[in-house]
Amino acid sequence: MRIGIYSSIASGFLAELLYTYGLRHGNVRIELVDGNPEEHVAAIRQFRLDVAFLTGERDWPGCDRAQLWSERVFVVLPDRHPLAARAELTWPDLTEEPFIVSEAAPGQEIHDHLVRELASLGRRPEIQVQSVGRDNLLPLVAIGRGLTLVSEAMTVAMLPGITYRPIKGEILPFSAVWSPRNDNPPLRRILAMARVASAKSTKIR
């Protein structure tokens, strides 16, 4: 089963889902593929991916979608930054800050989100695109090259020199997207497990 991901599997809903699925269906080989939503959806339509776990609530023509979980959005900043003293941040706190994003996914979505949120406050953010992956972006934050954003699942990555602070009221929904014409049995099993896990997490909240 080939799965497109657009979030960290370091912790959270998706990490737990893949772990549980592996325990129950250890004979199924799983391949994870990084990419942006458009790439993933194109691959789903061509049956090169079975399912993708994407941010947002967009419906994609020719695909089915199920919203499964949500995560808070965090700012990553140097631990010596003045804003690190606060327990929670707001968008107005960030209007004068420079940001960095990765050239790889989900860098473009983070870029667009920053422009959208800060432009609504009358500011055009300074955003520099770095030709590195997510793992190397955080050390650049630590040495003062700019701030960045991550979803909650990434905050288990405790790297020296950085700290995470949530943005008040910023919640990112995640959905599974797949082709209704895909009859791969492992796909159907993971979708069923995801729906059960989603229902349980909703009850807990």
Rounded to the nearest integer, the mean pLDDT of the chain is: 90
Please enumerate in sequence order all residues whose Cβ is within 8 A of that of 21, keeping only pairs 6 or more positions apart, or say none. 28, 30, 189, 190, 193
Domain covering 2-69+172-204, topology: D-Maltodextrin-Binding Protein; domain 2 (3.40.190)
**Domain segments of the chain: what residues?**
2-69+172-204, 72-170
Beta bridge partners of 27: none
Stated pTM of the model: 0.85
pLDDT at site 187: 97
Inform me whether the pLDDT recorded for 1 exceeds 90: yes
The amino acid present at 111, given as its one-letter code, is H
What is the arithmetic mean of pLDDT over 2-22? Answer: 85
Q: Could you read off the pLDDT of 153-180 as tens digits, one per residue?
A: 889 888 899 999 999 999 989 999 999 9
Q: What is the dihedral of CA 76, 120, 67, 73, to 10 degrees?
A: 10
pLDDT at site 103: 79
Q: Say how far apart CA 121 and CA 92 lie, in whole Å.
A: 7
- Tell me which architecture the domain covering 72-170 has in CATH: 3-Layer(aba) Sandwich (3.40)
Q: Picking from 87-91, 122-126, 188-192, 193-197, which range would have the lowest pLDDT averaged per residue?
A: 122-126
Do residues 71 and 41 touch, judged by C-beta distance below 8 A? Answer: no
The residue among 180 and 132 whose pLDDT is bigger is 180
Do residues 84 and 163 touch, judged by C-beta distance below 8 A? Answer: yes
What is the arithmetic mean of pLDDT over 78-89? Answer: 96
Q: Could you read off the pLDDT of 110-121 as tens digits, one per residue?
A: 888 888 888 888
The residue among 10 and 191 whose pLDDT is bigger is 191
2-69+172-204 shares its CATH topology with 72-170: yes
Do residues 99 and 148 touch, judged by C-beta distance below 8 A? Answer: yes
Q: Could you read off the pLDDT of 20-59 as tens digits, one per residue?
A: 999 999 999 999 998 888 999 999 999 999 999 998 888 9
Beta bridge partners of 67: 175
Q: Say how far apart CA 54 and CA 40 lie, in whole Å.
A: 9
Proportion of the chain above pLDDT 70, given as a percent: 95
